[in-house]
Structure 1
Amino acid sequence: MRTADFVRFAWLSLSAHRLRTFLTALGIAVGIAAVILLTSIGEGLHRFVIDEFTQFGTNLIGIQPGKTSTHGGGGLGAINTVRPLSIEDAIALQHAPHILLSDPMVQGNADVEHAGRSRRVTLYGTGHTFHQTLRMKLAVGDFLPADDPRAARAFVVLGAKVAQELFPDENPLGARMRVGGERYRVVGVMAPKGQVLGFDLDDTVYIPVGRALEMFNRESLAEIHVTYEPTAPLAEVEEGIKRVLTARHGREDYTVTPQQKMLEVFGTVLDAITFAVAAIGGISLLVGGVGILTILTIAVSERTAEIGLLRAIGATQRRIMLLFLGEAAVLAALGGAAGLALGSGIAAILAVAVPALPVHTPWSYAVVAEISAIVIGLVAGVLPARHAAQLDPLEALRSE
């Protein structure tokens, strides 16, 4: 049998039972669509988280009080049992090797008021380089001046939303307002930043860190942000930071968290999540494979006489087996193609209909899913194909 006749025969066999072919291919299509949709959401989440963190730069290091073996602010609970991070620590870190900027930070909530309007906002006590350290831009005015952070003047910088709420019809620069019950002069307004990992950076105000510590009656900073030379070896930068702080504290009672290492950890975790949801979607592919196995097993019993006739006119066992495997592969490929179109279409609709849901289709997973569908189809077709190939020609013809 020539290859062209082989392909034509397989196609005619499938088109002769269109409903059965459609339902079998649909099982594969649903599996592929599930893989594409789930991996699109997983990959979108991956990119969203990475983008949220990298907007502050990759040469950023956070230092928190308290020694912890995990990343993040888990060391805050140890503030009362260890030496707190101080403004002097942040100043000392400016002289560590490869350090470009060092900025102390404390965070809390405070009431702000102007001309009878008031609201409760997130307050950041920072140094004068905070906006440079975290790559944040000003809309108008300047950030906090380069005063001694331990005895800075009462200046405040407003987030975009706070400025709009308290000064809807006027320029806030130079205006007096109350922050936590004390009078401050507005010197700048930040450019709109939006939400970052659930925190609205526009609904904030920034005051000198020393005044914030007094306002919250705290001794310890929440964090010190430092940036380092992008070409500097991270290990050397970390060692320099630890050398300075350990000399001041007497022991390592702080946690150094490089942004670069956080991104690596997040990348590994999110890759694992994407793979896991793809595997969950892959279960549907196995269900589709069972459908192909069932349909082809039925087809062998229905086409016994046809198989006997093919054997009688010279078709070999190998050719009969390839015929059924070809039908299984075509079924899986058609279902896979339909699933790719369905999954990517739903992902595109979700991206438009729900902008807050990060969706991105990883085409590498799409290719793997399509190949997997064909492989599953072939594996599912092996048993029916072997059974068909091993039929005795005379017995097969007699069954007519």
Structure 2
Amino acid sequence: MQLRDGLALACSALLSRPLRSLLTLLGVAIGIAAVALLTSIGEGLRGYVQDNFAQFGSRNVSIRPGMIRTSGLGGLLSSVRPLTVADADALRRLPHVEAVVPIIQGNGDIQFAARSRNTGVLGCGYQMAQAWRFKLALGQFLPAARDGRSPPYVVLGHRLRLELFGEANPLGELVRVGGTRFRVIGVMERKGQLLGFDVDDIAYIPVDWAQSLFNRNGLAKINVVFGTGTHSVLLSESIRRLLIERHGTEDFSLTTQDDMLRSLDRILASLTVAVGALGGISLLVGAVGILTIMTTSVAERTAEIGLLRAIGASPRQVLGLFLAEALLLSLLGGGLGLLLLGLLLGGLHLGLPGLPLSLQPLFLLLALLLAGLIGILAGLAPARRAARMHPVAALRSD
């Protein structure tokens, strides 16, 4: 029996039961579409988070107050001492440090004339725009402190400016932030969402004014941006030594941008595998469908198998014939699944344009290969059963 004849027999067998074949195809198609879609969502989320972190630069060390230690009884002991603006000023004097950003976060009422908005307020250092690669649409960013005290200036986010001033120029105007008057000296360029936060709806004020506004003694954290002449590990050690010298003990936590990216990458990679495994349950259902239809097909075509053997077909050719049917069934299901995937992605793009999706050609190829593998594995047992039939016994069964 030639290859062309075998393929023709396999196609005719599938077309002879079109409804049954179509239902089996749908089982595989839904499984392939589910795996590819969930995987693309996981990869899209992974890329989205990495891109957002990359906007802040890769040479970044974050310092937070407090260090968690494990006690001998298995409990957690927390040592917390505030980080201060003086600590941030001392860090600027370290070699290779390009920018230091002390940060205090909170919420407050921003008022101008009769307009008021409750939104985020970020107390930060004068190097924040440089360190975080933020650009200004109007004016300038917060200046450095003079004589130990920063002037009461504020920089508005893009959306906050529109809410308070519309299209009017806000530079030089006085606004109230938490009841305190600040003069507007700048407006940030539109930035959008970063890691789920709307940075366009924030008022940026000097960190020392934020301490008074929110009645805080210490900083929420300090970000240190360093140059290319050193490594994050070396700079972290320099920061650790300096702060221990100032505080007398290690009562702070250091996290580099590389550490955060590695941790997030591990978490999101695990998430991608998990959602892909959930979609694999649908593939398992499709495999059961192929196994069922092939087992039924072998039982219904026993006489045909006997006839093929009687006219000279070898057991290997019979095995190949039924494996070809299963493979063809699964590959057609995989192709239908990719078509279904395209429709789903189009619908998601229209309905949820902000949903991060990353569909890579390699995933599509792997989906088709996975469909073919499922077809072979599901059809192997029925095909072996057909190949082992005795021709005389098979002919008598009709």
Same fold judged by TM-score > 0.5? yes
Q: How far apart, in 2, do the equivalents of 1:333 and 1:18 lie? A: 16
Q: Distance in 1 between the 2:268 and 2:346 partners?
A: 21
Q: Deviations over 1:353-386 (max 9, x none)?
A: 2112222223333322221221121111112111
State the distance in 2 between where 1:323 and 1:294 align: 17
Inter-partner Cα distance in structure 2 for 1:92 and 1:234: 18
Find the counterpart in structure 1 of residue 57 from structure 2: 57
The equivalent of 1:322 in structure 2 is 320
Partner amino acid, structure 2, of 1:360:
S
Q: Confirm or deny: 8 A CA contact 2:156 2:204 kept in the other structure.
A: yes
CA distance in 2, matches of 1:305, 1:196: 67
Deviation at 1:396, TM superposition (A): 1.4
Q: Corresponding residue for 1:292?
A: 290
**How do 1:1-400 and structure 2 match up within 5 A?**
1-68=1-68, 82-148=80-146, 150-168=148-166, 170-230=168-228, 232-400=230-398
Tell me how large the CA RMSD over aligned residues is.
Answer: 1.8
How far, CA to CA, are the matches of 2:228 and 2:342 in structure 1? 38
- Alpha-carbon separation, structure 2, partners of 1:89 and 1:379: 64
2:291–2:379 contact (8 Å) kept in structure 1: yes
Q: In structure 2, what residue type is equivalent to 1:283?
A: I
- Structure 2 letter corresponding to 1:21: S
In 1, the alpha carbon distance for the partners of 2:127 and 2:385 equals: 76
Amino acid at match of 1:61: V
Alpha-carbon contact 1:347-1:361 (below 8 Å) kept: no
The amino acid that maps onto 1:62 is S
Letter in 1 for 2:50: I
Query: In the TM superposition, what is the alpha-carbon distance from 1:112 to its structure 2 partner?
Result: 2.1
Q: State the one-letter code of the partner of 1:186.
A: V
Which runs of 5 or more structure 2 residues have no equivalent in the other structure? 70-76
- Structure 2 SS opposite 1:257: strand
Separation of aligned partners in 1, 2:251 and 2:136 = 35
Is contact 2:61–2:232 with CA below 8 Å preserved after alignment? no
On the 8 A contact 2:27/2:285 being kept in 1, the answer is yes
Change (3 A) 1:195 1:149: farther
Q: Matched residues in 2 for 1:82 and 1:37: separation?
A: 45
- CA deviation digits over 1:10-30, x for unaligned, max 9? 222222222222111211111
Per-residue deviation at 1:68? 3.8
CA drift at 1:162? 2.1
Matched letter for residue 93 of structure 1 = L
Letter in 2 for 1:94: R
Is the contact between residue 101 and residue 227 of structure 1 (CA under 8 Å) also seen in structure 2?
yes
What is the match of residue 73 of structure 1?
none
Offset at 1:179? 2.0
Q: Deviations over 1:34-65 (max 9, x none)?
A: 11111122112112222222111111221111
Conserved? CA contact 2:96–2:229, under 8 Å: no
C-alpha separation in 1, matches of 2:261 and 2:349? 25
Distance 1:394 1:168 in 2: 90
**Distance in 2 separating the partners of 1:114 and 1:281:** 52
Cα distance in structure 1, aligned partners of 2:375 and 2:198: 50
* SS of match in other structure, 1:202: helix
Aligned mates of 2:80, 2:147 — CA distance in 1: 23
- Residue identity (%): 48
Deviations 1:160-193 (A, max 9, x none): 2222222225311111222222222111111122
CA distance in structure 2 between the aligned counterparts of 1:262 and 1:360, rounded to whole angstroms: 22
Q: CA deviation at 1:201?
A: 1.2
Q: Which moved more, 1:84-93 or 1:339-348?
A: 339-348
Aligned mates of 2:214, 2:284 — CA distance in 1: 59
**Alpha-carbon distance in structure 1 between the residues aligned to 2:396 and 2:111:** 96
Instruction: Report the 3-state secondary structure (helix = DSSP H, G, I; strand = E; otherwise coil) of the residue aligned with 2:376.
Output: helix
5+ residue gaps, structure 1: 70-76
TM-score normalised by length of structure 2: 0.94
Matches of 2:147 and 2:387 in 1, distance apart? 86
Cα displacement (A) at 1:307: 0.8
1:295 partner SS = helix
Single out whichever of 377-386 and 141-150 deviates more from structure 2: 141-150
Deviation readout 1:245-284 (Å, 9 max, x if unpaired): 1111111111111122111111111111111111111111
CA-to-aligned-CA distance 1:282-331 (integer Å, 9 cap, x gap): 11111111111111111111111111111111111111111111111111
Distance 1:273 1:231, change over 3 A: farther
